[in-house]
Amino acid sequence: MTHSNETRRQILYWRLLAGIFDSEAQPALETSSVAVVDDLGLPAALLDPGVSIDNVVQRFPELANEFDGLGAHVRAAESTETAKESAGQNADETPAGTDADSAIGSGEVRSAALFSKLLLNVFATGGGTVSATQLAGWQRDAGWLRRMLGEDCGAEVRTVLGDLEADLVSRMRLREVLADPALSAQLTPSMSLIEQLLRDKTNLSGVALANAKSLIRRYVDQVAEVLRTQVQQTTAGTVDRSVPPKRILRNLDVDRTIWKNLTNWNPDDERLYVDRLFYRQTAKRTVPARMIVVVDQSGSMVDSMVNCTILASIFAGLPKVDVHLIAYDTRAIDLTPWVHDPFEVLLRTNLGGGNDGPVAMAMAQPKIVDPTNTVLVWISDFYEFDRSQPLYESMQAVHRNGVKLIPVGSVNSSGQQSVNPWFRERFKAMGTPVISGRIQKLVFELKNFLD
């Protein structure tokens, strides 16, 4: 029996849903899906969740462009449905007099097969122990999905992918993998993996500890490269108009000089007589600034802690910026001596525990020497051990003294955060709203202060 294109597409999507949400095989869907894929001239490997997208593309290079083009296909389909809704037509309805099979072309069925393969690989993660090879394969498949979604990959999708990866990492025999250089080499550093390594570092030794440190350093270097570019793009500085321009040829403003001296044009000899030269102002404000970064290292803030530790090291490398770094849970530790090396900082942190902000503030306050030239970046979810009022009052006091206070709920890969609403409301009323979302927001705020 020959199915219509619409029916064939539905078969593929029903199989996808069954594969993600139902652990038991569905023979009828499997048989029908094999027939659909075979009829489309596609390889049976598309139906095997154990075969990665990279392996499919390696074996069938002609499919690479089709996988890369899925994003454009999905967006085109969404535009069509939006147009239908705007016209008052149900997105699932086929216009009157239109054959359903012609409305859904075989190309769309083919895209549905590829799209189902990608989603099945990413979201059907199964159960049981996960090997290094399986984790690496999943990470690459998730990379295909991120590329497909592009800028449309919203915070919710990033959060789901992060949770899936964290689950896979937790199901690994990580210590055994790290003890084997060949298996360890297959791991791709990610936030989920780094968090697990930081939590377990005290239980590692020898080869396993060396491999864990190598993975952490690789991740730090990757993130640092991205953040360093963002800082360079947003910290160009502003021209200080109070400083007279240097009267050197390199700073000569030729256009302005000509414009200002046009009244001296002599039409008889066709010459412009210049009685005043104008120069560009290039001096930038270079007043030294002190940046104090306080990071909550409790378990819920790992992503932010890693990002901000790396960011602090980058700002510490800029001229005229004196960076101090403090990490805390129920105790506080001054990590300033290692602020230039985020790798060393992370190895000295102790994830977990609760929050005792006043302990960290007691360490930070003596570092505030020139309040109006100090920025205090406080990264936390602000869920305190019954000491919310003392912490807020101390923050309010340093803010009133002229310190630039930047409370940060989280700066992470997903852009998601959970902040104590008691603090959120009070920070907003104080005129220092909590920064949320991507780390670019924090970079922008720091840039505005340091310029």
The domain total for the chain is: 3
Same domain? For 20 and 48 the reply is yes
State mean pLDDT over 173-178: 88
Same domain? For 247 and 361 the reply is no
pLDDT classification of 368: cutoffs 50, 70, 90: very high
- pLDDT at 445 (0 to 100): 79
Same domain? For 112 and 55 the reply is yes
For 244, the domain range is: 239-285
Residue 223 within a domain: no
Same domain? For 417 and 314 the reply is yes
pLDDT classification of 366: cutoffs 50, 70, 90: very high
Where among 227, 254, 285 does a domain terminate? 285
Rg (CA), the chain: 29
Same domain? For 259 and 293 the reply is no
Residue 98 within a domain: no
- Summarize pLDDT for 50-100 with one digit per residue, the tens: 888 988 988 899 898 888 888 776 555 555 554 455 555 554 454 444 444
- State phi, psi for 374 to the nearest 5 degrees: -130, 135
The rounded mean pLDDT for the chain is: 80
Where among 137, 171, 205 does a domain terminate? 171
Same domain? For 253 and 356 the reply is no
- Summarize pLDDT for 95-112 with one digit per residue, the tens: 444 444 444 677 888 989
Same domain? For 144 and 36 the reply is yes
Residue 415 within a domain: yes
pLDDT classification of 153: cutoffs 50, 70, 90: low
CA atoms 183, 187, 192, 196: torsion sign: positive
pLDDT classification of 393: cutoffs 50, 70, 90: very high
For residue 69, the 8-state DSSP code is T
- pLDDT at 300 (0 to 100): 61
- Summarize pLDDT for 271-327 with one digit per residue, the tens: 888 888 888 765 554 456 888 999 888 766 677 778 788 888 888 887 778 889 998
Residue 420 within a domain: yes
Instruction: List the single range of 119-128, 236-245, 417-426 with lowest mean pLDDT.
Output: 236-245
The verdict on pTM exceeding 0.75 is: no
Question: Which amino acid is located at 156 in the chain?
Answer: E
Where among 285, 307, 340 does a domain terminate? 285
Same domain? For 247 and 167 the reply is no
Give kind and range of the element (H or E) at residue 332: strand 332-334
Same domain? For 280 and 298 the reply is no
Alpha-helix runs per DSSP H in 87-189: 100-103, 106-123, 132-149, 155-170, 174-179, 181-184
% pLDDT > 90, the chain: 18
Same domain? For 311 and 255 the reply is no
Place of tokens 């019954």: 386
DSSP string, 280-328: ----B----EEEEEEEE-SGGGHHHHHHHHHHHHHHHTSTTEEEEEEEE
CB 153 within 8 A of CB 183: no
Report the distance separating Cα 271 and Cα 261, nearest Å. Answer: 11
Same domain? For 322 and 254 the reply is no
Residue 148 within a domain: yes
- pLDDT at 236 (0 to 100): 45
Same domain? For 167 and 138 the reply is yes
% pLDDT > 70, the chain: 80
pLDDT classification of 394: cutoffs 50, 70, 90: very high
Give me the torsion for CA of 445, 449, 450, 451, rounded to 10°. Answer: 100
The angle subtended at Cα 342 by Cα 340 and Cα 344, nearest 5°, is 95
Residue 126 within a domain: yes
